[in-house]
Amino acid sequence: MVGTGVVTLVIAAIASLFMAWAIGAGSSGSTPFAPAVGANAISVMRAGFLVGLLGFAGAVLQGANVSEAVGTELIGGVQLTAIAATTGLLVAAALVAIGVFTGYPIATAFTVTGAIVGVGLAMGGDPAWAKYRQIAALWILTPFIGSSIAYGTARLLRSKRTRDRLTISLLAGVVGLIVANIEFAVLGPSGSSQSLAATAASGLSLPNVAGIDAGRIAVSLAFSTAVAALLFWDIGRDKAAGQRHFLLALGSLVAFSAGGSQVGLAIGPLVPLLDPFGIPLVPVLVGGGLGLLVGSWTGAPRMIKAIAQDYSALGPRRSIAALIPSFAIAQVAVLYGIPVSFNEIIVSAIVGSGYAAEGGGVSGRKMGYTVLAWLGSLVLAIVVSYGVFAGIEMV
Q: SS3 for 165? A: helix
pLDDT value of residue 120: 94
Q: What's the CA gap between 25 and 304, in Å, rounded?
A: 9
Q: What Cα–Cα distance (Å) separates residue 146 from each residue in 258, 277, 369?
A: 16, 41, 19
Is 286 within 8 Å of 312 (Cβ atoms)?
no
Q: SS3 for 393? A: helix
* Amino acid (1-letter code) at residue 223: F
Beta strands 126-127; 75-76: pairing state: antiparallel
pLDDT value of residue 281: 85
pTM of the model: 0.84
Over the chain (395 residues), the average pLDDT of each successive run of 10 is 67 84 70 69 78 88 89 89 86 76 72 93 93 92 91 86 87 95 81 83 76 85 96 92 90 89 88 81 89 82 65 70 91 90 81 68 64 81 92 83
* Amino acid (1-letter code) at residue 312: S
Is 342 within 8 Å of 31 (Cβ atoms)?
yes
pLDDT value of residue 86: 85
Q: Which of 307, 306, 320, 158 is nearest to 231 (CA)?
A: 320
Q: What's the CA gap between 236 and 163, in Å, rounded?
A: 11
pLDDT value of residue 122: 93
Q: What's the CA gap between 321 and 312, in Å, rounded?
A: 13
